[in-house]
Amino acid sequence: MHSTSSSDDGTLKFKVQPETIRFYAYLFFWAMAIIAILITRLVTRDRLLQGPPSSSQTGEPLSCPPFQNGVGFDIDTDSHLMKAFGFNNASIT
């Protein structure tokens, strides 16, 4: 990826290969996107469909973000992004 060398006058020379840096940037971006999709599919979806937990004092569902009116929602068809923009982002699809 890069190499360093020092010369007799005390300067440090550092060679950078932009294509290698770009490759790693794309690699880590797509890894992050795939992990986000997996977490959404395996963990988040079911929890959002269930809705908020009940209050221990009143027994009624809590109405707090991301839940509105104390009910759950389907992240594929009824998410906040779908309501605002008409489509979900890449990590939800």
| In the predicted structure, residue 5 carries a pLDDT above the cut 70 | no
Q: Which domain holds residue 71?
A: 19-85
The average pLDDT across 3-20 equals 79
C-alpha distances out from residue 85 to 20, 32, 76, 80, Å: 35, 23, 13, 8
Is 66 domain-assigned? yes
| In the predicted structure, residue 79 carries a pLDDT above the cut 80 | no
Give pLDDT tens digits for 16-57: 899 999 999 999 999 999 998 899 889 888 888 888 776 666
Is 52 domain-assigned? yes
pLDDT at 20: 93
Q: What percent of the chain has pLDDT over 90?
A: 22
Q: Rounded distance, CA 25 to CA 19, Å?
A: 10
| In the predicted structure, residue 60 carries a pLDDT above the cut 70 | no
Is 11 domain-assigned? no
Overall domain count for the chain: 1
